[in-house]
Amino acid sequence: MSNFEIFQLVVIQIDNVNSIITIFMSALFAYFMLSQFFATKLSKSQIIIVTVVYSIFMFFEVTLMASNLINIYGLQIYLSYISGGVLTEPRIYFFMILPFVSLIAWGISIVYMWTSSRGKLHMTTKLIE
């Protein structure tokens, strides 16, 4: 494999991660908008069904994100190895920050939906006004 092909593989992996992040953020935004505008109008069973489908999709996206980031990490280690030590070897936890933050965002969105559906957030905003 030539150096050009290796760098092309790195660029493809980074492009995959960018696409996954875009899809993840779109689903997260859509779920927040659903919880903001329609949570009080949905029944409990509808909220459970939407949340389960949303959660399965988000875990799939986080898994894809983590696997692509691990592939990038492996390629970075390989590039560091073939460069003869000119490139420094990255740490794995730098690559795993994004999936960890994504899981936190997923958790916040679930809590927001459940509190919005029970009207707790709407009552507190009315008290503030």
Q: Give the start-to-end residue ranges of the domains of the chain.
A: 3-128
pLDDT in tens, 44-78: 889 999 999 999 999 999 999 999 998 888 888 88
Average pLDDT, integer, range 79-103: 80
Q: Are 57 and 27 in contact (CB under 8 A)?
A: yes
Enter the tokens of residue 37. Answer: 């505008």
* pTM summary value: 0.79
| Helix then strand then coil, % of the chain, to nearest 5 | 85, 0, 15
pLDDT digits (tens, 9 = 90+) for 100-124: 999 999 999 999 998 888 775 454 4
Q: How far is C-alpha 107 from the chain's CA centre? A: 11
Task: State the pLDDT at residue 120.
Answer: 53
Confidence of residue 87 (pLDDT cuts 50, 70, 90): low
Q: Which residue has the higher pLDDT, 127 or 74?
A: 74
Q: Tell me, what's the pLDDT at 38?
A: 87
